[in-house]
Amino acid sequence: MPKILCIDDDPAMLEVLKSLISHYLPQMSVLMASDGTSGMQMTFDELPDVILLDLMLPDTSGWEICKRLKNDPITQNISIIIITGLDSTDSLKTRSLDAGADAFLKKPFESHELVAQIKAMQRLAEAQKVLTRQRDSLEDDLRTENGRLHRSEERWQLLLQSTNDGIWDWDITKKEVWFSPHWEHVLGYSPGEIPGTIRGLMRLISSEDRSHVIKDIRKHLNHETNTFQTELRMRRKDGHYRWFLYRGQAVWNEQGKPVRIVGTQADIHERKIFERKLVHIAHHDTLTGLPNRTLYIDRLSQSMARAARVKSHIGVLFLDLDGFKGINDSYGHDAGDLLLQQVTKRLLVCVRKVDTVARFGGDEFMIILADIKSSDDSGLVSNRIVRDISQPYIIHGHEMRISISVGVSLFPEHSHDEETLIKYADIAMYNAKHGGKNQYRMYDPQLAGESTHLPLTRTEFAGAIERDEIELTITAIKPVREDMQPLYQAGLHWLQHSTNSFAFEKLINLSEEADSDHLLFDVLLRKVCQHMQKEKEGLYIIPVSARQFYRPEFASELIDWLEEHQLEGARLALSLGENTILQDIDYTTELFARLSHARIRLMLDHFGTGYISLQHFCYLSLDYLKFDPYFVREFNEDGKAAIIVRTMLEFAHGMNMQVVATGVAIPEVEEWLHRIGCDYIQSAED
């Protein structure tokens, strides 16, 4: 029975590997070792066919084990697959292959990838055994018949049947190359159509690959490697290039000179295409197709190196959409995604082909303006971006408007460090937002505040919660009459450093990017409950995202929280957007009934700008209606918006709902809302 040895210091990973192999390759016996020493001993005792080897072991490295096994005649033909959770880079993979590894996998991996690699290694092992027998036979022929090599048809048939790969045989002394018919067929040639010389073979290899192929051949012939191995592109008869993996073993005569190399050739084109796709996915944003933060920094580094050589400048732009969360809340995440895609198209039009536009996540973008002459160039581009982004968008038949705030830093004026340039551009953008939004600002060392951008991860977010860096914010909403129940809007902010604060809207975006929004909601609920225990009066409003609302355990966890803290449900209100409610109206109706039974209040946020129909109010039990700020932003008592507000007030009161008007910026509007019977007023600053 074929044997496979798994060497990994993580017991959970060993069990996962054992389970996968047992399920997909039941014909293989699985051996396991938790460190390098026991793994080496087990290798010599059991002589497995394939080894799955972790790079980082408690007593040694996977590279060291690989080198020792490949340099030992007893174990040199065992196929080794390196598996690592380290950040995969070309240098990491190259070092593994140089150490003698036959394949390389990055954790986490798909099960089909692992199974395919193991099967490939099994085929390689079988081919290697045949090649070894063939080499031994050829060496015998050299010694016994004065170097004359006899090719046995039976041996070749055995070799061809042992693998689906192509076979090649290079007679170095005669400078002749033989290819198996299968190999020629893969390339689209008829048997004998390819010249049987090494020069003819080289002509088929891509010019970009020839130098490293020659280098790999020389390293093997100089005894620097146990086997010859290289990846290359070859030109098919139709003119297209295809990727192949070449492996081979040299035969030396009694004087130690190489006389022949016999090997296999495998078609790895689909694998290389898949690897390229993985690299693209790892370096690009899936929604917009733009470079992500990793690729952006790499390109920024290259641009800075070039600018230093030619004495030019670089503009680093940090861009953040103004009010994007409102679009998501009012129209849904699908509309928000479409808006981001349209914004991307406009940004690309605003820059040159040599520039780079990247998405950092959420509604944040970055731009590299390469080889500019002065700061004036970055100002011209920034103004163009601000102007073009603010033009209306048509999405799902609705006209939408959004603006953008831009911060700019310059190389080499402001810094010679990539992360510092990004930070300075972020500070400038933050200043643009506080200066009124919809504009750009150039970084100035005198600017107050710190960077608002954070490359957030689940671990970092959990760490912030554990350190209690996320604090509760409570904003009072003004009641129209003194006898009305006090109303408070609850939120959070993250005091990352002494001067760096993340507001609640920013926290929501960051937590969703890190897939940790449930942690954020738990923190909010816990801190609100603690606050309510101290303050015995008032109703507290907490916003609920669609992702939280549609968690199966949402209602039960919420009710359990209140019971655990001995709080009345009537003191808590959930604020929900229209599109959150409408995603699954049957689910919403059932959940509203459970929450109402627990006396938890329900508020519809941003009413008047979404898709909710009046018929929904016939079976949805709501307690509060919060108008979208649009209706009071440009107030005119005789205007159409005022008519709509009065009508909505009458409708809401008729449905036993109290009304909250938001975005109130001037006293005249507040007085008018008092007169027409609005229940609560929230100013534009809150």
Copy the structure tokens of residue 625: 């209606």
CA distance 63 to 78: 15
Q: Positive or negative CA dihedral for 352, 339, 317, 461? A: negative
Instruction: For 461-512, list the strands marked E by DSSP.
Output: 470-479, 487-497, 500-502
Q: What are the residue numbers of the active site?
A: 363
Q: Tell me how far apart the alpha carbons of residues 160 and 346 are, in angstroms, rounded to a whole number.
A: 57
d(CA 655, CA 659): 11
CA distances 587 to 493, 555, 591, Å, are: 31, 12, 6
CA distance 601 to 653: 16
What are the CA-CA distances from residue 322 to residues 179, 363, 581, 607 (Å)?
64, 9, 24, 20
Query: What does the block give as tokens for 379?
Result: 């100002």
Contact by Cβ (8 Å): 184, 193: yes
State the first-to-last Cα distance of the chain, in angstroms, to the nearest integer: 72
Query: Judging by DSSP bridges, how do beta strands 403-411 and 440-442 pair with one another?
Result: parallel
Six-digit token string for 520: 């954020």
Whether 236 contacts 229, CB under 8 Å = no
- Radius of gyration of the chain, Cα coordinates, nearest whole angstrom: 34
Amino acid symbol at 342? Q
Tracing tokens 């008032």 back to the chain, one arrives at 538
How far is the CA of 495 from the CAs of 242, 450, 502, 503, 519, in angstroms?
54, 11, 6, 9, 17
Per DSSP, helices labelled H in 25-80 are 36-46, 62-70
Question: Do 170 and 197 contact (CB within 8 A), yes or no?
Answer: no
The letter for the amino acid at 462 is A
Pair of tokens at residue 223: 């005894």
Rounded Cα distance, 60 and 55, in Å: 9
Please count the CA atoms within 13 angstroms of the CA of 322 that sit on its side-chain side: 21
Q: What are phi and psi of 638, to 5 degrees?
A: -100, 5
Instruction: Determine how β-strand 440-442 pairs with β-strand 356-361.
Output: unpaired
